Amino acid sequence: MRTSELLRAAGFAHGFFTRVGGVSAPPWDTLSFSVAAGDSAEAVRENRARAAHALGVDAARLYYASQVHGTESLVLAGTEDPDDVVRRVADITASRTAGVACGVRSADCVPILLADPRTGAVVAVHSGWRGTVLRAALAGLDTLESLGARRSDVLAAIGPHIEACCFEVGAQVGKDLVACSSASAPITRRDEALAKVWIDLRSIVRAQLETAGVAPSAIDDVRGCTVHEHGLYHSFRRDGAESGRLLSAIVAR
């Protein structure tokens, strides 16, 4: 599990979980969080229990939804059934109830954890390239603001995902990503013959957060490339349908 110094110093239990430490069989070995990706319900249930223990919460208060690369948010009170929540569509989970863990799952997409030290409210955002174009990070900030946060107080951590070394896209996707933020150099490499570019999603998400009012010093980069670091992370780009799903989660306080 990887953590953010900023979030930890502010007293928020959280984690960007790796693929290590669970019970799933290959090819989802060993810590994976999706039955839909092919893993067994029993393995995912045990993996959820282990993640909840690491976060210091009851498994019944660890939540994530069905993600569709959009910007819908789900505000949780902690009384919901996690099995019901996982069937609901949302790429953002949020809570102001102490002890509720808000999570998102990923296998290359960008996980973003947001927290408000004043109210204790938290938000988890799933931002793949489509979500990034739709500015999912800003939708997460809007949700946190609706729970009483001020953007100037918000802390953010951008977790491991497909880094620029491995994120090759077509020219049109590249144009869409360049256009969705003020990042100065989101394209790190070009291949004109193949009409391909390599994109730095981290710089784009960071620029979106900064433009929306989050202080640069309040944004933490928790590094890791899901494609390159096979032993630590699941990756759909690398493994296709046989990829597991990682969990990133933060607990309201």
Residue extents of the structural domains in the chain: 5-162+215-251
| Topology (CATH level 3) of domain 5-162+215-251 | CNF1/YfiH-like putative cysteine hydrolases (3.60.140)
Question: Residues 185, 239, 193, 174: is their CA dihedral positive or negative?
Answer: negative
Q: What is the pLDDT of residues 223-248, one digit of tens each?
A: 999 999 999 999 999 999 889 999 99
Per mean pLDDT, which range of 21-35, 74-88, 167-181, 187-201 is the poorest?
187-201
Beta bridge partners of 63: 102
Which ranges in the chain belong to alpha helices (H)?
5-9, 41-55, 82-85, 129-133, 136-146, 171-179, 201-211, 236-239
Residue 126 has pLDDT above 80, yes or no: yes
Q: Whole-number mean pLDDT of the chain?
A: 96
Percent of the chain with pLDDT over 90: 92
